[in-house]
């Protein structure tokens, strides 16, 4: 089975070729499901369809398929620490005694998992157990292991989106020469399955012609950093400088009166923001638009932006109506990406911003405080213009500014100098915070023992190697509520040992799956023999000096964490300052 081979190789080239072969041989109807399954998903994030199968359900399915009791399965699980491995051992014994085993098709696997993800209501639990057990009945023991890992979200194929894209290119062109074109379509649609279908059915020309699709989120453009305003002007010349709002980033899709709102990770969020939906319908009259902005809690009486902690209360599943009243939001738009059939992503920013100004009925036209406005902006010709506006923004309670290249297209899914951020620095600290992934935690001493939590071991991410590399042990910045949160959250994803995609010399008390992203402030980046971030073969790694926890970045996936290259750049920038 291909998954077995992929899991055992970390060499990107080999797996790219294996995957290319697989896609070439695949039946047309299998392309989409195969792509989703390989990326560990059942559907693109924006559909909101998630597998979310718990260990209990899997144990019941193994039991149903093997005749072993759940207690026996749990006993083995405690030994292996890996439910997939437990499944393999148990199914192995079973296949020695039975011979009936049909071979599983991609379609069957996909269909069953899709049903599993979408079944709800009375009796759904048993139905789900049956769906998984049916797959286990028809698979070999090794296949069973992968099916179980897939179901629990722990499939370690080592193939990321970049590898899948390279393999698409290899399948149609023999090498990576069309990867960039394929990646562009992925960045515009966030749907790798659709990319596969378009490419293999209609060819690379169809991929190139793709424009944004309403209700299919565009992957976010990201901001670079620079040491000071003089260097920013030198780099991009005259620019638009906007206030940097510390709320959460939202992408708005509107067709007629239907509105969908997506998070930075392309998850559907519409149901959480009835107030924004209402305001969007009132203030935006265009038929079809894709817009982007930052939502933040706002105190109407004092006209003050509220903290991120206040804003985050609006990200909730229950009690939405009450919170809408308690914590009203404002949405500050900063991008117009699509308008009535016209793709704006390739237009220069200056033009997009002007279009945005026309689209939004702002306060000045309508009177009264409106929920939706534009991010405040000025033109800057010289460094002082940036510095003055920065001061003004900080005084208003904003996080800093973002300088935007007038001529740049929207850099979907990429960090380019089209946007350069300048953040408020905590005194004597690094200019920017680091978004690090939690790879382990420590038990506390003293008061902290009661929480079973005393600190985090964190890492940054190397996309090239697909590895998380340690950068800091964080022991400060947590209040009791946060300690409780970490103790609850991390104990659910703890591992028996260091996972394969983690590179760390430091040992925490407990290793965890690299899943949770935290924002960290530190005094500086220093060389360190203990940490592996930015480490060369002979030399030292890099560490954060005096790291303090700021907040959990729920809006970031582990792969969105600060990258190794960014940390190296920040280290260089620090020397220049």
Give Cα 404 to chain centroid, integer Å: 23
Return the closest-CA partner of residue 465 out of 518, 533, 399, 417: 533
Residue 68 or residue 421: which is nearer to ligand AMP going by CB? 421
Nearest approach in angstroms of CB 375 to ligand AMP is: 4
Pattern 43-72, binding to ligand AMP, x per CB under 6 A?
------------------------------
Choose between 362 and 507: whose C-beta lies nearer to ligand AMP: 362
Output the six-digit token pair for 435: 């978004």
| Shortest separation between residue 433's beta carbon and ligand AMP, angstroms | 7
Of residues 242 and 275, the one with the C-beta less far from ligand AMP: 242
Cα torsion 559, 562, 564, 566: sign? positive
Interaction between residue 261 and ligand AMP (CB under 6 A): no
Instruction: Work out how close the CB of 481 gets to ligand AMP at its nearest, in angstroms, rounded to a whole number.
Output: 23
Residue 239 within binding range of ligand AMP, rule CB under 6 A = no
For tokens 């005084």, the residue is 395
Q: Which two tokens stand for residue 323?
A: 């919170």
Provide the 3-class DSSP secondary structure of residue 88: helix
Quick one: 178 or 223, whose CB is closer to ligand AMP? 223
Q: Which of residues 352-411 bind ligand AMP (CB under 6 A)?
A: 375, 402
Residue 291, Cβ neighbours under 10 Å: how many?
25
Nearer to ligand AMP, 7 or 242 (CB): 242
CA–CA dist 110, 290 (Å, integer) = 31
Find the helix packing angle between 192-202 and 31-38, rounded to 10°.
Answer: 140
Does residue 244 bind ligand AMP (CB under 6 A)? yes
Start-to-end CA span in the chain (Å): 53
Is residue 249 a contact partner of residue 292, using CB atoms and an 8 Å limit? yes
Asked if 334 interacts with ligand AMP (CB under 6 A), we say yes
20 and 199 Cβ atoms separated by less than 8 Å: no
For ligand AMP (CB under 6 A), the number of binding residues is: 11
- Give one word for 203, left, alpha or beta, with left for phi > 0 and alpha for psi -120 to 50: left
Q: Tell me whether residue 312 or residue 506 sits nearer to ligand AMP (CB atom).
A: 312
Contacts 24+ apart (CB under 8 A), 442-447: 442/473, 442/475, 442/508, 442/509, 442/510, 443/509, 443/510, 444/483
Residue pair 220/413 in contact (Cβ under 8 Å)? The answer is: yes
Please, what is the minimum distance in Å from the beta carbon of residue 283 to ligand AMP?
Answer: 18
Distance, in Å, from the CA atom of 427 to the CA atom of 513, rounded to the nearest integer, reads 33
Residue 455 to residue 469: CA distance in whole angstroms: 17
- Positions 1 through 30 that interact with ligand AMP (CB under 6 A): none
Q: Is 294 in the site for ligand AMP (CB under 6 A)?
A: yes
Site for ligand AMP in 198-237 (CB under 6 A): 220, 223
Are the CB atoms for 543 and 472 separated by under 8 Å? Answer: yes
Which part of the chain contacts ligand AMP (CB under 6 A), choosing from 89-97, 205-213, 243-251, 280-288? Answer: 243-251
The structure tokens listed for 216 are 């299919």
Which range, of 186-194, 241-249, 280-288, 533-541, touches ligand AMP by CB under 6 A?
241-249
In the complex with ligand AMP, the residue whose CB is nearer, 402 or 521, is: 402
Rounded-to-integer distance, Cα 115 and Cα 127, Å? 9
CB of residue 194 to ligand AMP, shortest distance in Å: 24
Which tokens is 199 given? 């490419």
Among 153-161, 173-181, 210-218, 240-248, the segment contacting ligand AMP (CB under 6 A): 240-248
Among 104, 164, 245, 295, binds ligand AMP (CB under 6 A): 245
Residues 430-469 that bind ligand AMP (CB under 6 A): none
Q: Cβ–Cβ contacts within 10 Å for residue 485, how many?
A: 16
Catalytic residue among 32, 128, 244, 260: 244
| Residue 571: CB minimum distance to ligand AMP, A | 17
What is the smallest separation between the CB atom of 402 and ligand AMP, expressed in angstroms?
5
The span from the CA of 247 to the CA of 297, in Å, is 8
Options 254, 260, 421, 473; binder of ligand AMP; rule CB under 6 A: 421
Q: What is the DSSP string of 291-320?
A: EEEEEEEEETTTTEEPPHHHHHTT--SS-H
Least distance between ligand AMP and beta carbon 130 (Å):
43
Please identify, using beta-carbon distances, which residue of 414 and 493 lies nearer to ligand AMP: 414
CB of 179 to ligand AMP, least distance (A): 25
Q: How far is the CB of 398 from ligand AMP (least distance, A)?
A: 8
Structural contact between residues 287 and 256, judged by C-beta atoms closer than 8 angstroms: yes
Which residue is at the shortest CB distance from ligand AMP? 249
Question: Tokens 């290319």 belong to which residue?
Answer: 20
266, 46 contact by CB (below 8 A): yes
* Nearest residue to 161 (alpha-carbon basis) of 281, 47, 44: 44
244 catalytic, yes or no? yes
Catalytic positions are: 244
Q: What is the binding site for ligand AMP (CB under 6 A)?
A: 220, 223, 242, 244-245, 249, 294, 334, 375, 402, 421
């Amino acid at each position: 089975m291909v998954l077995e081979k992929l899991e055992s190789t970390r060499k990107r080239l080999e797996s790219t070729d294996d995957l290319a072969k697989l896609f070439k041989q695949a039946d047309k109807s299998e392309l989409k499901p195969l792509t989703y399954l390989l990326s560990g998903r059942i559907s693109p994030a924006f559909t909101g369809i998630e597998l979310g199968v718990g260990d209990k359900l899997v144990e019941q399915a193994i039991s149903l398929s093997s005749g072993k009791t759940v207690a026996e399965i749990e006993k083995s699980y405690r030994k292996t620490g890996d439910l997939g491995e437990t499944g393999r051992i148990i199914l192995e014994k079973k296949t020695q005694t039975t011979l009936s085993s049909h071979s599983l098709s991609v379609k069957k696997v996909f269909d069953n998992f899709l049903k599993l993800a979408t079944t709800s209501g009375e009796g759904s639990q048993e139905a789900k157990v049956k769906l998984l057990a049916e797959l286990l009945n028809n698979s070999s023991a090794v296949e069973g292991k992968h099916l179980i890992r897939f179901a629990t979200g722990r499939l370690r194929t080592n193939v990321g989106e970049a590898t899948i894209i390279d393999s698409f290119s290899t399948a149609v062109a023999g090498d990576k020469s069309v990867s960039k074109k394929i990646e562009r379509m992925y960045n515009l649609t966030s749907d790798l399955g659709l990319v596969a279908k378009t490419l293999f059915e209609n060819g690379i020309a169809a991929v190139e012609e793709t424009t944004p699709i309403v209700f299919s989120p565009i992957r976010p453009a990201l901001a670079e950093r620079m040491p000071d305003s003089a260097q920013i002007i030198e780099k991009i010349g005259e620019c638009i400088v906007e206030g940097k709002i510390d709320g959460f980033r939202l992408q708005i899709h509107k067709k007629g009166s239907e509105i969908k709102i997506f998070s930075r990770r392309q998850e559907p969020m519409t149901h959480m923001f009835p107030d924004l939906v209402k305001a969007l319908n009132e203030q935006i009259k265009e038929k079809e638009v894709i817009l982007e902005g930052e939502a933040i809690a706002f105190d109407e009486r004092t006209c003050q932006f509220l903290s991120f902690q206040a804003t985050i209360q609006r990200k909730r599943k229950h009690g939405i109506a009450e919170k809408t009243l308690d914590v009203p939001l404002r949405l500050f738009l900063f991008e117009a990406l699509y308008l009535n059939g016209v793709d704006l992503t390739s237009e220069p920013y200056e033009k997009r911003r002007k279009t945005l100004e026309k689209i939004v009925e702002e306060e000045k036209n309508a009177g009264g405080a409106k929920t939706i406005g534009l991010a405040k902006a000025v033109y800057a010709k010289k460094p002082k213009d940036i510095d003055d506006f920065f001061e003004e923004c900080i005084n208003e309670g904003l996080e800093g500014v973002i300088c935007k290249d007038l001529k740049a297209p929207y850099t979907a899914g990429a960090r380019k100098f089209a946007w350069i951020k300048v953040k408020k620095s905590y005194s004597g600290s690094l200019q920017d915070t680091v978004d690090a992934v939690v790879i382990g935690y420590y038990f506390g001493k003293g008061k902290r023992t009661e929480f079973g939590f005393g600190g985090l071991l964190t890492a940054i991410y190397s996309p090239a190697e697909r590895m998380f590399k340690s950068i800091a042990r964080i022991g400060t910045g947590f209040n009791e509520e946060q300690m409780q949160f970490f103790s609850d959250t991390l104990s659910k994803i703890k591992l028996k040992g260091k996972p394969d995609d983690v590179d760390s010399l430091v040992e925490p008390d407990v290793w965890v799956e690299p899943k949770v992203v935290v924002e960290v402030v530190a005094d500086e980046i220093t060389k360190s023999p203990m940490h592996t971030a930015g480490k060369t073969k002979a030399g030292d790694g890099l560490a954060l000096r005096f790291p303090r926890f700021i907040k959990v970045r729920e809006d970031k996936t582990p792969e969105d964490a600060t990258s190794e290259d960014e940390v190296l750049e920040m280290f260089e920038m620090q020397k220049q300052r």
